[in-house]
């Protein structure tokens, strides 16, 4: 059992509210399904089926399972028509270390949503007993590098051929950034 427990009430920032994936319903699934055409969101799935409704349900099921195990905290921002953003913190080996992932709908990028979501989730992770958070960024994704640096994440280096692109099944490098509680 990991340290993550769905927060009640949902996590709130100035402009956004992050709801845990274990609390979403069939209506939310349909909104998420409408966003599954974004290849970046589809890459969150281990085995995308190509059926937006089934893939949205798989994403929700994985999130709910992670919450039950306390090892995957997945939050979303859903408008009536779509998933606007998602952020997750995943524990894979060390129960005090979490990998972060953020996705924002292409129509809402560069509006500060990812920054606000990270500003909410990172302190929540640390208050849950996490001692180190990290993110992997594609070497060519300069906006994500800029976001990590602006939030105080420290670039640790490049993991060569570490990541597998689920869209192409090809391995690629990724850059690792970390943040410790003492650096916030």
Asked if 57 and 42 count as a contact pair (C-beta separation under 8 A), the reply is no
Q: How far apart are CA 122 and CA 126, in angstroms?
A: 6
Q: Which residues pair with 57 in a beta bridge?
A: none
pLDDT tens-digit profile of 89-131? 999 899 999 999 999 998 899 999 999 999 999 999 999 999 9
The DSSP element (H or E) to which 85 belongs, if any, is strand 83-90
Place of tokens 């995308």: 48
Asked if 10 and 67 count as a contact pair (C-beta separation under 8 A), the reply is no
Q: What is the pLDDT of residue 38?
A: 78
Mean of per-residue pLDDT scores for the chain? 90
Model's pTM, two decimal places?
0.91
Band (pLDDT 50/70/90 cuts) for residue 79 is confident
Question: 37 vs 98, which has greater pLDDT?
Answer: 98
Where do the domains of the chain lie, and which CATH numbers do they carry? 11-133 (3.40.630.30)
Instruction: Give the mean model confidence (pLDDT) for residues 124-152.
Output: 95
């Amino acid at each position: 059992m990991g340290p993550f427990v769905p927060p009640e009430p949902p996590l709130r920032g100035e402009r956004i509210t992050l709801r845990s994936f274990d609390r979403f319903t069939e209506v939310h699934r349909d909104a998420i399904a409408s966003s599954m055409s974004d290849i970046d969101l589809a890459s969150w799935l281990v085995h995308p089926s190509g059926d937006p409704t089934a893939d949205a349900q798989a994403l929700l099921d994985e999130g709910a399972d992670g919450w039950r195990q306390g090892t995957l905290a997945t939050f979303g921002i859903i408008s009536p028509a779509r998933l606007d953003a998602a952020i997750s913190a995943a524990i894979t080996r060390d129960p005090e270390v979490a990998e972060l992932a953020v996705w924002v709908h292409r129509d809402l990028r560069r509006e500060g949503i990812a920054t606000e979501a990270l500003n909410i989730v990172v302190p929540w992770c640390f208050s849950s007993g996490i001692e180190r958070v990290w993110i992997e960024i594609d070497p060519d994704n300069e906006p994500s590098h800029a976001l990590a640096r602006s939030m105080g994440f420290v670039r640790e280096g490049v993991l060569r051929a570490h990541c597998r692109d689920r869209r192409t099944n090809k391995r690629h490098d990724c850059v690792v950034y970390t943040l410790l509680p003492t650096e916030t």
